[in-house]
Structure 1
């Protein structure tokens, strides 16, 4: 096989198999650093071998077996042969014959749970998941979250040390703890998407690559846990939100409000897939916050226009969401829906406790929602002040400019 196709298949294998290879070794050796080093050596070997011999029929199996051998060699070289389970040696031959056991899915799921362990800081969980499950480089993750690469690298080193020293296992938690731990995993995936969907800093309003990484992770999680309704709800939510990506900014990168978006540019395939996944989730009759948010997104996606949106139903869904997740951010979103369904004064009544509490004083969407409701209620001067506050608290230049424009021309 020519070098070109070999390299292409290697790149594809890296994207699809990296997490599985690392997961398999991490569970068997209990050391994420050793698993990463061995996986890197295996991919380096593939880069040399595959262009000459051709891509093997089972790339993932080849990479895992090669990494397995590299890891055992490293243990032997370090004088730690006794730490290696003797069964591993015979497992290599069995794995080659069977083209790897069917435990890779469990291994990968175990890696996800380890990376998202509650004992780790949230930003560390996100970085670990993107590095070891999704296969992003340290440089890519640092750039995405606007931190220096050495800082991000140090976070990963400390996190791997904590996993090892704390005895965090690379396995699926017992049933009694699964729900709690799974919620942490979903939160990580959602936050990755949210940073792409509405960037909190930098020059770009939307970071499509982060949205796509989060969707990839959500698909993987749904594949590994197909019976979990909330995991399906999360995937549906991300697909439905991302379906609007092309219409959310104009050619100059200026934000386009939902009311003004060209709905013909929305991705019909993503909408159809998201709606289908949501229907399957709702059929399980185990409602949760991601399913409710996905149901709201589905109503927006199915509406022929902004004015024809089923705002009363959306307001009801936000009421249900507020009971399950009584957070000030949910209250902000609910105020907009109530304002559309029952009038701006009703929306302002929902928003007033949030404004009075000061809990989200630095949250730009709160002030933008306040400004829009004040405009509709006939208070242009108060609206102008709220638009200014929204602009001042936005960290994204393109959005800040749009908010200042609204402040100057309400």
Structure 2
């Protein structure tokens, strides 16, 4: 009888434990950490992988707080990496391309690498087009961030931090930044950028991931993806891709993505001067939602064949759509794939390009005691056949 009682009690205990584990939300998403290699200066780079219950996973490098891999199941459960990127750390260092990186201090372009704040003009490093791009100089994308914490749970999370000193790449103020990546059990990858400054400055932080929802290296390039952008206006640019200041209606032209259409439609429309300037799409869309307190839809991207869907949500008023126009077949990425134009596209939630030089654009100013925050979400799902 005692043996029966012991067996019964053991069974009860196991059953209770199983129920507790299945009901415990903290086991729904996992976070693991591993070395990704060593930089040329001897600094070790860490890789954190967040994995959700539905098969979605994301791998983030401390180098550039970079979203390196985003694994997404199709409607049949087949998983593919949907991010265009280099396959190893050495390639990231050899020829930086912003792929998947956290961009700062200022995402996108600033004309002449110059802006004026409170009567003082600040000069930033310029590229070969005479402008500042994605922060200029030693941007956030090429710095090794500190990994503050890694946590599994109902929401798996990794927190990365960086201190940008006063005068860094010409920008005023010491800025302390965190990039928090979190993945829930449904496959929502949230990125929260928080920052403080000790002097008035400008900030525009975003992520520069390049997507192909058919899968990185697929025979179907990203121009076959179907895109929706809920924006009735965009910001036209000059021949240096600097906004003119105009907000132009998208209706009736190649920039109208208010209804779903393939990226390829209008991509090579040489009759549209804006397409000629950008060599395709490389423009900011003024989202109809504007600046919001909580993330709202900024873009939707779908591969109709596999059914993989990406929804980009953000609190920011704009999204830069870049159709991979400068991928020229000279760069080798993951799995030895050679990347060419249209193999990946970027959808970067942001304030507007050259914002500090356009008073009518949404303000990019950040002051002491008034922290900066940008919340964005990459929501990975599937569509029915």
- The TM-score range, normalised by the shorter chain, is under 0.3
TM-score of the superposed pair, with normalisation by structure 2: 0.25
- Structure richer in strand, relative to its length: 2
TM-score of the superposed pair, with normalisation by structure 1: 0.24
When Rg is computed on C-alpha atoms for both structures, the one with the higher figure is: 1
Q: Larger relative contact order (C-alpha < 8 A, sep ≥ 6)?
A: 2
